[in-house]
Amino acid sequence: MTSVLRSAVTGVGGYLPDRVVTNDDLAKFVDTSDEWIVERTGIRQRHQAADDQPVSDLAVAAARRALEAAGRTPDEVDLIIVATTTADLTFPAVATIVQRKLGCPVGIAFDVQAVCSGFVYALSVADGFVARNRSQCALVIGAETMTRLMDWTDRGTCVLFGDGAGAVVVEPRAGEGTTADRGLLGFALRADGTKQELLFVDGGPSTNGQVGKLRMQGNQVFRHAVVNISEAVTAAAADAGIEVSSVDWFVPHQANLRILQGVARRLGIDEAKVITTLDRHANTSAASIPLALDQGVRDGRIKPGNMLLLEAMGGGLTWGACVLRL
Ligand code: ACO
């Protein structure tokens, strides 16, 4: 056995804004129904940030809970990575705003933009610091105010998204180089920029100077999702040296219940092993995986030592998966 440094997830936290918007609430001003949304997506409600609540506030609330769970304090944090596509400002990065609001010391702080896959990408980036002993206490946060990007006249998109944040603390831990080690054990990250038109926001600082609205060819994205995610899950499991069947819990990005079921069927995964939050949270983009992780840990299903598989696909297209032992 060789001694290796692993990036261990030592604390998890989540935050959802107080305001809950049900499908019936949306049906008051969009031509839709609770029945259609539940049947096609599995979503029943979503949370929406208050008008004066920037995404950094959501990120800070989730980060505080993750630090508390890890038994760490803000003054120990030396790396902050925020996965988001809905930053407070074009710059600075949300991560530096979180650093200031939490009162963390001078360190490394930046954002990762990979839309719904952002949290998996950000974990991989954090692994590059932590497993090389370049960070002793990292915060990896997925935080989004997706409702700010909605065209509320487009029923094909505005019913799908919600706001929230999730965070994990990542710290170096000695391992033996085996799959019994605690920590991030395998990744598969993918991007295909030729599929941009399937899912994008039609604004930006260097095009029209606008924030823009989310545009999606939902059924086309859906067609790619099950195939792409399944491939990434298989590749991440191979990278970690495990069988997909040995995973204790699947913690997927929460876009559509039918995608979750399709991936589970394709890979022979028992649906009882899939953490599902989209009925209450809807699609919170980069926040959805850490929020689902937080849910599973806090309700006692996910336990220390469990093998987890995280996966996501989103705008870009980007997609990816991560194997970790908690
Ligand atoms: N209420 C009622 N009817 C609706 C609604 C709605 N909210 N939205 C669409 N419809 C109608 C359409 O107009 C269409 O009507 P028509 O047949 O008269 O033209 C009909 O329902 C079917 O539309 P489809 O788009 O084909 O419906 P589909 O079954 O594909 O479901 C959905 C749409 C839910 C968007 C699905 O395609 C999906 O979930 N796609 C994947 C989304 C995803 O994973 N995105 C990636 C992550 S997001 C990110 O990265 C930011």
CA separation for the pair 73, 169 (Å, rounded): 11
218: CA distance to ligand 1 center in Å?
Answer: 5
Query: Exactly one of 116, 137, 158, 322 is catalytic; which is it?
Result: 116
Are 313 and 263 in contact by the 8 Å Cβ rule? The answer is: no
Torsion of CA 124, 130, 133, 137, to 10 degrees: 160
pLDDT of residue 206: 97
CATH class of the domain defined by 4-175 = alpha beta
> How much is the pLDDT for 2?
77
Which segments of 1-145 does DSSP mark as H helices, in order? 23-27, 34-41, 55-70, 94-102, 118-130
CA of 150 to the centre of ligand 1 (A): 14
**Residue 1 above 70 pLDDT?**
no
Report the distance separating Cα 8 and Cα 140, nearest Å: 12
For residue range 76-93, list pLDDT tens digits in order. 999 999 999 999 999 999
Q: Is the pTM of this model over 0.85?
A: yes
| Closest Cα to atom 8 of ligand 1 | 156
CATH superfamily of 183-325: Thiolase/Chalcone synthase (3.40.47.10)
CB 34 within 8 A of CB 148: no
Pocket residue to mutate for ligand 1, from 35, 161, 219, 224, most atoms within 8 A of Cβ: 219
Alpha helix (H) ranges present in 131-255?
155-158, 218-240
The first and second tokens of residue 148, run together, are 């700010």
Give 14's pLDDT tier (boundaries 50, 70, 90). very high
Q: What is the pLDDT of residues 221-258, one digit of tens each?
A: 999 999 999 999 999 999 999 999 999 999 999 999 99
Average predicted confidence (pLDDT) for the chain: 97
Contact 281, 164 (CB under 8 A): yes
The contacts of residue 149 (CB under 8 Å, 6+ apart) are 85, 86, 161, 201, 211, 212, 213, 214
Q: Count Cα atoms within 13 angstroms, Cβ side, for 39.
A: 5
DSSP 283: B
Band the pLDDT of 61: cuts 50, 70, 90.
very high
Q: In this predicted structure, what is the pLDDT of residue 39?
A: 98
Q: Summarize pLDDT for 176-189 with one digit per residue, the tens.
A: 999 999 999 999 99
- In the chain, domain spans: 4-175, 183-325
List, for residues 103-120, the tens digit of each pLDDT value: 999 999 999 999 999 999
For residue 116, indicate whether it is catalytic. Answer: yes
Annotated catalytic residue 253: yes
What is the Cα gyration radius of the chain? 18
The reply to whether 183-325 shares the fold of 4-175 is: yes
Burial class (CB in 10 A: 0-12, 13-18, 19+), 26: buried
For residue 213, which phi and psi values (nearest 5 degrees)? -125, 150
pLDDT range class, residue 272, cuts 50, 70, 90: very high
Give the distance (Å) from ligand 1 centre to CA of residue 219: 6
Distance 156 CA to ligand 1 centre (A): 5
Residue with tokens 């696909």: 313
From 222, 230, 258, mutation site for ligand 1 pocket: most ligand atoms within 8 A of C-beta: 222
